[in-house]
Amino acid sequence: MRLFFLSCLLVTLSARAAAPPQAEPRPNVIWFVVDDMSANFSCYGESAITTPHVDRLAAEGTRFSHAFVTAPVCSSSRSALITGCYQTTIGAHHHRSGRGQHRLALPEGIMPLPAMMQEAGYFTCIGSGLPGIDHRGLPVKKDRKGKTDYNFDWDEAIYDSNDWAGRKAGQPFFMQVQLHGGKLRGENAASCESLRKRATEAFGAAVDPDKVTLPPHYPRDPVLLEDWAAYLDSVRLTDHHVGQVMERLDREGLLENTLVIFMSDHGISHARGKQFLYDEGTQIPFIVRGPGVAAGVAREDLIEHIDLTAITLGAAGVPIPGWMQGRDVLAKDYQPRDAVFAARDRCGEAADRIRSVRTSTHLLIRNFHPERPLLMPNDYKDGKAIIRRLRELHAAGSLPTLSEKLLFAPVRPAEELYEWKTDRWQVVNLVDDPAQAETRRTLSTRLDQWIAESRDPGDESLEVYDLEIADELAVIKPGSERSRVFSENAEVYRAWMKEGK
């Protein structure tokens, strides 16, 4: 693998050396990267709320209808995004790994995008996009740099500042606006109520829980309805923040020479959303607006979130290195993908391995540990009021049949197959349908090819799992209830690994 990346690096360096000088002023580039948010914006068909600022981005730019992350959890997604590589290829696929005694380094030759942009003369910054306002949209006394969350060793010097204001005169900038997004709603009723008050102050009224439409696999329970209403209010607040940043760009005379890209790091944090490879966890909003970008266009081709990195290099006039797996979907010679891929691995103490391949019509999901239930023990998810409520309803035997089947079956299928465009929430598994047998075989083979080609290392060994769990426990308060639950859950996974489950 080292020889492969070294050869790619040599090709990249040669391409850079041969690159012609820039004749026109290079555009600034701004990324909006939002936590835990699906495409619940008006321009994507959400009817319970209005999102005028993101809608304006879509009207003035290109909206991608079928954009998907390669990892449905923050750190793995962001590690892939900042390198333009599949998280499995660079060994950053296990959530919050490589942070303590167990360290991870990028394969030789691979560079985070901000370092490449610095080399190209860009001022690199990461923050809220609004001086004096933080990632939650709230006032702060001291501005800070924004969320990174990378699962590998990296040099903080790849970011020059938290804001573009500190750049030299005439210097182009690359800015990441990192927003709290769906995390604004918190984990319990008190945090949801706090967000309702904030939304009422900002917009005159909060979203009415009774008017919320839930996915069909969630019961219309007050706890879930109030949570989803709070989530929609978090979308509105995110939209408002976007509008403020865009107004600042306009006020400073920067808007027309700035490429703006809006996306989220994965879908909504919910039972079948974040951490899983259904659309609820992997489909994201993705909008591009700026110089040379077609306005009012909705593209239907499949793209991956790592394409954002290649788009940025293309806009900056920097050759895309051979090792980068993202593609510049705005390039004149771009060839649309025939399939996109995703992977879920250990999240906290919850060890798992899931892979998926998606074409324009079908989604195939492979569960490498089908003996483990979907809602397996997980300190992070089980701390949420919505998951606790689902477990209460399950224990009481009062969940609807579909909820029981999809959320609480004791085992999972080894493979799942869905016609994802007509089955929006992936509730009808066609894997055993004789009419779909050829499609299943074709997609299964395609997934095998991707796993091999992307150098997917798969499961952690028990030895590495122990190191990572120790690192996680080192940052949890000793003797706390969370420490106890996390440790007990880890013992369950250790037992499953030893059993081959």
Does the pLDDT at position 488 exceed 90? Answer: yes
Q: Does 389 score more than 80 pLDDT?
A: yes
240: exposed, middle or buried (Cβ count in 10 Å: 0-12, 13-18, 19+): middle
C-alpha closest to that of 215 among 206, 204, 226, 224: 224
Q: Are 291 and 256 in contact, with CB atoms under 8 Å apart?
A: yes
Residue type, 140: V
What the chain holds in terms of domains, given with CATH numbers, is 26-338 (3.40.720.10), 354-499 (no CATH)
Q: Are strands 283-284 and 62-68 parallel, antiparallel or unpaired?
A: antiparallel
What mean pLDDT do residues 354-377 have?
Answer: 98
Per-residue pLDDT averaged across 72-92, rounded?
98
Q: For the residues 321-335, what does the mean pLDDT come to? A: 97
Mean pLDDT of the chain: 95
**Exposed e or buried b per residue across 119-156, where buried means at least 16 C-beta atoms within 10 angstroms of its C-beta:** ebebbbbbbbbbeebbbbbeeeeebebbbbbbbbebee
C-alpha to C-alpha distance for 55 and 335, rounded to whole angstroms: 27
* pTM of this structure: 0.94
Which of 231, 188, 226 lies closest to 208, judged by CA?
226
Structure confidence by residue, pLDDT tens digits, 287-324: 999 999 999 999 999 999 999 999 999 999 999 999 99
Q: Summarize the confidence of residues 375-385 as an average pLDDT.
A: 96
What pLDDT, on the 0 to 100 scale, is given for residue 25? 87
Q: Identify the pLDDT of residue 23.
A: 52
Output the pLDDT for position 22.
46
Which amino acid is residue 351, in one-letter code?
A
Residues 414-460 have pLDDT tens digits of: 999 999 999 999 999 999 999 999 999 999 999 999 999 999 999 99
Asked if the model's pLDDT at residue 12 lies above 70, the reply is: no
Question: CA 464: distance to chain centroid?
Answer: 25
* Distance between CA atoms of residues 399 and 358, nearest Å: 30
Confidence at residue 146, expressed as pLDDT on a 0 to 100 scale: 98
Report the percentage of the chain scoring pLDDT > 70: 95
Over residues 115-159, the pLDDT tens digits come to 999 999 999 999 999 999 999 999 999 999 999 999 999 999 999
Tokens of 234: 């978090």
